[in-house]
Amino acid sequence: MAHGIQFEALAEDALLLRFGERIDIELNARVQAAAARLRRRLPQLECVPAYASVLLRFDPACWNGHGGSDPHRRLQDAVNAVLGEGGEIPATPRERIIPVCYGGEYGPDLADAAAHCGLTVDALIDRHTAAGYRVAMLGFAPGFPYLLGLDPQLAMPRRRDPRQRVPAGSVAIGGSQTGIYPEALPGGWQLIGRTPLRLFDAAASPPSLLAAGDRVRFQAIGEDRFRQLAAADPR
């Protein structure tokens, strides 16, 4: 262990860097900063950040030393050297505004969610749009962003009866997080609204609208604006 990081060889071509074991916005910021530094200094690696870890995928042949030394050990030494450098500041994260039509057919759980939180519907929307979020990681399905920064009063349990089909673009709350379903998928989070933006397009480059480390804010819109943006295919 170095720099408070635990290294774990997951496969011949994979090394996991563990920074901790909890979901925490400050810990995730450290993960994102490390991933950004590694991408710049070791561009031959594939870096996949999560809540409290970074997965490194690599070509073992490029990290074999003289005498066939362990490529995981050589990569670990390189990672330690890069993360031990000082003075380099990670790139400024992207900021994205996500328009959302709240309630009604777009957010069928909104009224129940507000009641659970002891708030009016308008107050819940105000709190949800007032917060600034960070994309902690993409997971569950391609392009699904797990967002940290939810107002603690809006935290709520997942549904007891998960839906077999959640519409694409649904904005939801599950536990202490909020997220956006990129495609029509099964899901048990509380649906409070929907965005007309397309979160994932396999034919696009990059395919995901959001990336780990991005900053996100939600903006409430009406149904007419939702239809306009959906028809324009804004992505």
What distance in Å separates the CA atoms of residue 16 and residue 50, rounded to the nearest whole number? 10
**Which residue's structure tokens are 């396999």?**
202
Judged against a pLDDT cut of 60, whether residue 89 lies above it is answered with no
For residues 217 and 3, the model is more confident at 217
The confidence score (pLDDT) of residue 3 equals 61
Percent of the chain with pLDDT over 90: 77
Instruction: Say if residue 11's pLDDT is above 90.
Output: yes
| pLDDT reported for residue 88 | 53
Distance, CA of 29 to CA of 52 (rounded, Å): 9
Helices (H), the chain: 25-41, 71-83, 110-117, 121-130, 223-232
pLDDT in tens, 90-142: 567 899 999 999 999 999 999 999 999 999 999 999 999 999 999 999 988 99
| Pairwise CA distance, residues 213 & 49, whole Å | 9
Q: 1 falls in which pLDDT band (50, 70, 90)?
A: very low
Structure tokens belonging to residue 233: 């295919």
Q: In this structure, what token pair is assigned to residue 102?
A: 């709240």
**pLDDT higher than threshold 70 for residue 190:** yes
More confident position, 103 or 89? 103
pLDDT digits (tens, 9 = 90+) for 211-231: 999 999 999 999 999 999 999
b/e map 128-151, b = 16+ CB within 10 Å: beebebbbbbbeeeebbbbbbbbb
**pLDDT for position 64:** 78
CATH of 6-83, one of 2.60.40.10, 3.30.390.10, 3.30.1360.40, 3.10.620.30: 3.30.1360.40
The C-alpha angle with vertex 50 and arms to 92 and 11, in degrees rounded to 5, equals 125
Looking at residue 201, its pLDDT comes to 93
CA-closest candidate to residue 196, choices 226, 225, 220: 226
For residue range 171-182, list pLDDT tens digits in order.
999 999 999 999
Evaluate if residue 2 carries a pLDDT over 80: no
Query: Which pLDDT belongs to residue 25?
Result: 87
| Selection from 180, 31, 209 nearest residue 106 by Cα | 180
Q: Which fold has domain 95-232?
A: Cyclophilin (2.40.100)
172 closest CA partner among 208, 218, 136, 223: 218
What does the domain layout of the chain look like in residue ranges? 6-83, 95-232
Mean pLDDT of the chain: 91
* Mean pLDDT along residues 4-24: 92
Alpha helices in 50-181 (DSSP H): 71-83, 110-117, 121-130
